[in-house]
Amino acid sequence: METCIFCRIIRRDTPASVVFEDEEILAFMDIQPVNPGHVLVIPKRHWASLSDIAPEAFARVSAVSQKVAAALRRSGIRCEAVNLILADGEAAGQEVFHLHMHVIPRFAGDGFGFQFNPGYAQLPERRELDECARRIHSAMTSIPRP
């Protein structure tokens, strides 16, 4: 992908501060960090979304993200907790359409967080949950097993 910024980073056409690299994965510092130490973990192969990526490649992204999170806690960078965030699609906040996991160090009072909609505290009826579960389960039967 010629125009993908992450593919350009992988090819070294664009600079990055690399944290980890192997044959399949690249992890580097986010240039617009939520907090110091914010790392992006990406597959070297271009997959735009979670539905595109091979399960074994996603497992590798997850494993490296876990290792980065553990390293953040030992690094001396302020890190009381960690968020792993994968935005899958524009409505979810994905801005670069090359799958990537954000590994974000967190600490009390850092100002970052999730904003819930006004109806969040209102619990749905069990029948609504059951219907959603039925629909998702039904859709899953047509998806090949990972």
Active site amino acids:
100
SS3 label, residue 13: coil
Question: Among 1, 95, 81, which residue's Cα sits nearest to residue 47?
Answer: 1
Question: Among 48, 15, 41, which residue's Cα sits nearest to residue 26?
Answer: 41
Residues 6+ apart with CB under 8 A from 78: 35, 36, 37, 105, 107
